[in-house]
C-alpha cells in the first residue's frame, strides 16, 4: 500500500493488539526514525492510514524532511490555533518550499466555540486547558476521525513525563500514536539538520527550544528542560493532545464550560485562573499563583521582584497586621476556612478591607456552609472557592436564603446592626 491519504475512504480495521505493538517496537532499532515513519505512513501499522501532524516547531524540520523523502504529497496537518508567532507561519512556507511538501493542511478551531468560550481571546490566560481544547484537541479530533492514528515528533529526552516513550503506542480510542524520534536527543536532531541543511525555526535561533503558541511560549535558559518555556508559571506541561502515553486524544475530564469552574464570583461559577504554590516549587516566573504568607515573609525579595499577578494564602493563625498594607502587592488573597467552626477568616477580611484598604480579590476558601455566605460577603469577601457540596448547589441555584438582621456592625457598610438603633440606645 502506498502512503497516499486513504483515510477518509477506509473502514477502520481493528487496532493492533498489545502483543503486536510490543513486537513492532522490538522490530525497530532505537534511532531509525525514517524506517519507523515509513512503516507507519505505508499503512503497515494500523488498518487505516496514519496521519502526519506537525507543529512546525523547533525540531519539526527533521520529521518533515523524512516525510518528503517518503512522499512529498503526504497530507501534513497543522493546528492553526490563531495564536501562533508570525515566525512560525513564515517558517511553514520556508519548509514547504525547501522540502517540496505540497499538502500542508491547516486545522482551525470552530469559530462558534471561539466566540462562545474565548470572546476576548484571553482564554489562554484564564483557562489554558480549555483554550487548548477548543483550539487543538477538538480540531485534531475531528480531522483524525477516520485515521488509525497519527505521527508525533515527541522525544524521550524532552521531559521526565516522556521518559518511557516508545516508537509505537496504543491509545485507548483504538488508534496508534507513532513517535519516530522517540529515542533521539538534541545531538541527533542537530546532526540530522546539519547533514540535510535544514532551515532552523527563526525563534529557535533566539533561544526558544520548544515553540508553540505565542502567548504560551517563552525562552529557555541554560540548563532548563527544553519544554520549560511552554506555559511557564502555569500548572500545565502538555496541550491536551498528548496527555499520556496510553491515553486517547485527550478531552478534559469534565466538559468545557464546567472545567475548573470552581470559583464563585460576581454571582456565577467561573473558571479559576489561579492555583496554589506547590511544595518545593521555585518562586521565580510564577503567574496567578497563591503563595502562603509564611513563604512570602521568608522570600519577600524574590516574590516582590516578580512583576506578574501573584496571590497570597492566609490560614488561621497568620498575622494579618504584620502583612499590613503590603497586602496591596497581591492581586488576590485566599483566606482558608479549614472547618466551618473556625471564624478567624472573617476577622482577616475585615482587617484587610477596613484597616489596610485592600482592594484586590478576596476569596474565602474551604468548608463554608450556606448560612455563612452572606456573612462572608458582608465582611468583604468577593469570591468563594467552596468545597462543601451543599453550599455549592445553593450558590448555583441562587438559594442562599436571606439574612435580615445583623448583630455586629462592620465598618465598610451603611447597615445599622440590631442593638445600635437609636431607640435601643435611648433605652439604655
- The residues that touch ligand SF4, with contacts defined as CB under 6 A, are 81, 83, 124, 128, 131-132, 135-136, 212-213, 215-216, 239
- Write the CA distances from 311 to 158, 296, 350, 377, integer angstroms: 31, 10, 18, 19
- 3-class DSSP string for 174-219: CCEEECCCCCCCHHHHHHHHHHCCCCCCCCHHHCCCCCCEHHHECC
Q: Which three cell numbers stand for residue 215?
A: 502567548
Cβ proximity to ligand SF4, 121 vs 409, nearer residue: 121
User: Of 131, 132, 239, 379, which one is the catalytic site residue?
Assistant: 239
Geometric angle at alpha carbon 328, from 326 and 331, rounded to 5°:
130
Q: How far apart are CA 166 and CA 177, in angstroms?
A: 9
Contact yes or no for 74/103 (Cβ under 8 A): yes
Nearest approach, Cβ of residue 81 and ligand SF4 (Å): 5
Nearest approach, Cβ of residue 397 and ligand SF4 (Å): 32
Q: Which three cell numbers stand for residue 414?
A: 451603611
Q: How far apart are CA 253 and CA 260, in angstroms?
A: 10
Cβ proximity to ligand SF4, 128 vs 153, nearer residue: 128
Nearest approach, Cβ of residue 76 and ligand SF4 (Å): 19
Q: Which three cell numbers stand for residue 36?
A: 519507523
Q: Catalytic annotation on 239? A: yes
- Which of the 8 DSSP states describes residue 340? T
Q: How far apart are CA 63 and CA 180, in angstroms?
A: 8
Which residue minimizes CB distance to ligand SF4? 213
Nearest approach, Cβ of residue 214 and ligand SF4 (Å): 7
Cβ proximity to ligand SF4, 193 vs 236, nearer residue: 236
Nearest approach, Cβ of residue 136 and ligand SF4 (Å): 5
Where helices occur in 218-362 by DSSP H, the ranges are 293-298, 300-304, 320-323, 344-350
Cβ proximity to ligand SF4, 125 vs 342, nearer residue: 125
Cβ proximity to ligand SF4, 17 vs 122, nearer residue: 122
Chain length of the chain: 428
Residue 378: how many CA atoms within 13 Å on its side-chain side?
A: 18
Cβ proximity to ligand SF4, 113 vs 281, nearer residue: 113
Contact yes or no for 76/103 (Cβ under 8 A): yes
Nearest approach, Cβ of residue 97 and ligand SF4 (Å): 26
Catalytic residues: 239
Amino acid at each position: 500500500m502506498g502512503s497516499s491519504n486513504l483515510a477518509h475512504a477506509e473502514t477502520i480495521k481493528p487496532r493492533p493488539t498489545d502483543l503486536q505493538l510490543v513486537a513492532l517496537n522490538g522490530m525497530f532499532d532505537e534511532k531509525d526514525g525514517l524506517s519507523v515513519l515509513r512503516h507507519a505512513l505505508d499503512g503497515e501499522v494500523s488498518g487505516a492510514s496514519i496521519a502526519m501532524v506537525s507543529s512546525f516547531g523547533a525540531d519539526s524540520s527533521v520529521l518533515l524532511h523524512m516525510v518528503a523523502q517518503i512522499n512529498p504529497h503526504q497530507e501534513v496537518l497543522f493546528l492553526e490555533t490563531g495564536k501562533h508567532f508570525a515566525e512560525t507561519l513564515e517558517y511553514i512556507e520556508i519548509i514547504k518550499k525547501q522540502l517540496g511538501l505540497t499538502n500542508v493542511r491547516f486545522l482551525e478551531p470552530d469559530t462558534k466555540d471561539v466566540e462562545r468560550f474565548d470572546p476576548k481571546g484571553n482564554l489562554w490566560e484564564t483557562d489554558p486547558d480549555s483554550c487548548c481544547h477548543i483550539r487543538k484537541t477538538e480540531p485534531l479530533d475531528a480531522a483524525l476521525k477516520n485515521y488509525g492514528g497519527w505521527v508525533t515528533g515527541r522525544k524521550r529526552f524532552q521531559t521526565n513525563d516522556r521518559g518511557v516513550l516508545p516508537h509505537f503506542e496504543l491509545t485507548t480510542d483504538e488508534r496508534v500514536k507513532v513517535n519516530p524520534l522517540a529515542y533521539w536527543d538534541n545531538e541527533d536532531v542537530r546532526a540530522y539538520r546539519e547533514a540535510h541543511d535544514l532551515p532552523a525555526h527563526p525563534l529557535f535561533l533566539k533561544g526558544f527550544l520548544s515553540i508553540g503558541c505565542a502567548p504560551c511560549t517563552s525562552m529557555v535558559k541554560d540548563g532548563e528542560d527544553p519544554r520549560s518555556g511552554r506555559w511557564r508559571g502555569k500548572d500545565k506541561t502538555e496541550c491536551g493532545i498528548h496527555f499520556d502515553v496510553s491515553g486517547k486524544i485527550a478531552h478534559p475530564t469534565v466538559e468545557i464550560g464546567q472545567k475548573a469552574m470552581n470559583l464563585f464570583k460576581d454571582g456565577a461559577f467561573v473558571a479559576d485562573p489561579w492555583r496554589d504554590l506547590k511544595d518545593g516549587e521555585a518562586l521565580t516566573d510564577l503567574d496567578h499563583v497563591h503563595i502562603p504568607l509564611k513563604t512570602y515573609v521568608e522570600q519577600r525579595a524574590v516574590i516582590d521582584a516578580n512583576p506578574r499577578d501573584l496571590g497570597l494564602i492566609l490560614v488561621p493563625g497568620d498575622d494579618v497586621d504584620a502583612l499590613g498594607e503590603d497586602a496591596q502587592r497581591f492581586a488576590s488573597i485566599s483566606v482558608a476556612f479549614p472547618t466551618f467552626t473556625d471564624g478567624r477568616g472573617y476577622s482577616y477580611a475585615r482587617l484587610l478591607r477596613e484597616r489596610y484598604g485592600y482592594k484586590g480579590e478576596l476569596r474565602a476558601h474551604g468548608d463554608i456552609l450556606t448560612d455563612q455566605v452572606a456573612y462572608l460577603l458582608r465582611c468583604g469577601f468577593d469570591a468563594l472557592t467552596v468545597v462543601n457540596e451543599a453550599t455549592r448547589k445553593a450558590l448555583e441555584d441562587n438559594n442562599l436564603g436571606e439574612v435580615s438582621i445583623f448583630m455586629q456592625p462592620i465598618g465598610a457598610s451603611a447597615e445599622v446592626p440590631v442593638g445600635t438603633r437609636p431607640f435601643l440606645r435611648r433605652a439604655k
